[in-house]
Amino acid sequence: MRTKFIKIALALILTGCGATKIPVEVEYAPNLNTTGIKRIAVMPFEGSGNYALAALSATSQTEKIIGGMENITLVDAAEINRLQNMGQSIEGKVDALLIGRITSANYNNEPPSSSSYKDKEGKIHWNTSCRTCTSVGYSYTLMRTKDGSFMGPISRIGTYCWTNFKNEPPDLFCHSSPDYSTAVAKAIFYIPRDLAPYKLKEERAFAEDKSGDSKIKDRMKKALSQVKEKKYELALDTYLGIYEQFKSVAAAENASIVYEVLGDTESALKIMQRAFEETNSPDAKPIIERLSEVLENKAKITESHKIEVEGK
């Protein structure tokens, strides 16, 4: 059932209104240089007074997120505290400490919005809505235990808003309790991307040639049909042939997309660099920058893995 749904979704992407698009999986390096970090302890988030509840939630939810990551082992913070209190080294137990604090925790009950009407018997019926927003801000750093160096800080804010409806006359204010837990979940959602490589599905839109040449238009249409039929190698040959004959930057761009689909980002960058050198078209520059960034991320991930393997 799930496979069928994915196929239907892909078909809609390829044949929907506007430019034809196709999903491409792109891998990104983590936001922090976590090379060599495999064991992390989440120290209790700092936060007192009005921030205490958000701090407790941030600590437990961050532990759950890190504990669920494939390449990182969560170390019990209580054990780290025990060793530190005894004056013992923690380097053999953990590679880094995640040290966080709550920087803000607010909620706001907005004035109610209401409407009413009278039925045939003259009875008044009310429709009242009350909107409440909770926001939590946090900041954290990673401390390497081997040398005491810090990475970060990274700061984010999570906001969660919801609306309650009631069939009653409006009060002067809405009365809802803050939902710090959901706001915290939104704030810390991206922590795994700070710590480990991650993949995202991104859409690439196929370009249209704007020269008005009917020969190019017909061949571009043929290549796009091959893409929709998932005949990617044939489509690539068609796009490259169009570029060779007509120097169409749109054909080069589409060839780069097909290269990405086939997992060959290096060739995708090369065809766009060549197109820019030979046509000096400004349309090629943002694509070159994007592909260069993708390759830089790949290089970072490869180098990090190499260092970790050599360090074992």
Structure tokens at 127: 């429709």
Residues 170 and 44 in one domain: yes
Residues 122 and 216 in one domain: no
Residue 169 DSSP SS3: coil
Q: Checking DSSP bridges between strand 73-75 and strand 150-166, what pairing results, if any?
A: unpaired
> What sign does the CA torsion over 254, 255, 261, 263 have?
negative
Reference 107, options 182, 179, 181, 187; nearest CA is 179
pLDDT above 80 (res 303): no
Residues 117 and 187 in one domain: yes
Average the pLDDT over 108-119 and give the result: 75
pLDDT in tens, 40-53: 999 999 998 889 99
Residue 259 belongs to domain with CATH number: 1.25.40.10
How many helices (H) and strands (E) the chain has is answered by 10, 8
Specify if 6 maps to a domain: no
Reference 130, options 185, 97, 84, 177; nearest CA is 177
Mean pLDDT of the chain: 86
How far is the C-alpha of 292 from the C-alpha of 294, rounded, in Å?
Answer: 5
pLDDT in tens, 207-251: 999 888 999 999 999 999 999 999 999 999 999 999 999 999 999
**pLDDT at 172 (0 to 100):** 55
Reference 184, options 34, 30, 40, 47; nearest CA is 47
The DSSP bridge partners found for residue 6 are none
Residues 204 and 233 in one domain: yes
pLDDT above 90 (res 276): yes
Distances (CA, A) of 251 to 49, 222, 236, 281, 286: 61, 12, 9, 13, 16
Buried b (16+ CB within 10 A) or exposed e, 118-152: eeeeeeeeeebebbbbbbbbbbbbbbbbeeeeebb
Whether the CB-CB separation of 142 and 172 falls below 8 Å is answered with no
Reference 236, options 204, 201, 264; nearest CA is 264
pLDDT above 60 (res 78): yes
Higher local confidence (pLDDT), 298 or 192: 192
Structure tokens at 211: 């020269």
pTM: 0.74
Residues 184 and 54 in one domain: yes
**pLDDT at 50 (0 to 100):** 80
How far is the C-alpha of 42 from the C-alpha of 73, rounded, in Å?
Answer: 11
Average the pLDDT over 32-42 and give the result: 92
pLDDT above 70 (res 178): yes
Higher local confidence (pLDDT), 49 or 1: 49
Specify if 294 maps to a domain: yes
Residues 206 and 294 in one domain: yes
Specify if 71 maps to a domain: yes
Specify if 237 maps to a domain: yes
Residues 262 and 182 in one domain: no
How far is the C-alpha of 189 from the C-alpha of 160, rounded, in Å?
Answer: 13
Specify if 4 maps to a domain: no
Domain boundary among 196, 228, 258: 196
How far is the C-alpha of 61 from the C-alpha of 139, rounded, in Å?
Answer: 15
Domain boundary among 173, 196, 219: 196
| Stretch (H or E) spanning 142 | strand 124-144
Whether the CB-CB separation of 269 and 257 falls below 8 Å is answered with no
Residues 163 and 94 in one domain: yes
Structure tokens at 302: 């490869």
Specify if 126 maps to a domain: yes
Residues 151 and 172 in one domain: yes
Reference 72, options 186, 191, 187; nearest CA is 191
Greatest C-alpha distance within the chain: 83
Residues 244 and 141 in one domain: no
Specify if 249 maps to a domain: yes
Whether the CB-CB separation of 22 and 77 falls below 8 Å is answered with no
pLDDT confidence of 267, banded at 50, 70, 90?
Answer: very high
**Residue numbers of the domain that contains 64:** 39-196
pLDDT confidence of 12, banded at 50, 70, 90?
Answer: very low
pLDDT in tens, 120-134: 888 877 777 778 888
Q: Checking DSSP bridges between strand 39-42 and strand 96-109, what pairing results, if any?
A: parallel
Distances (CA, A) of 248 to 103, 251, 277, 289: 52, 5, 13, 19
pLDDT above 60 (res 309): no
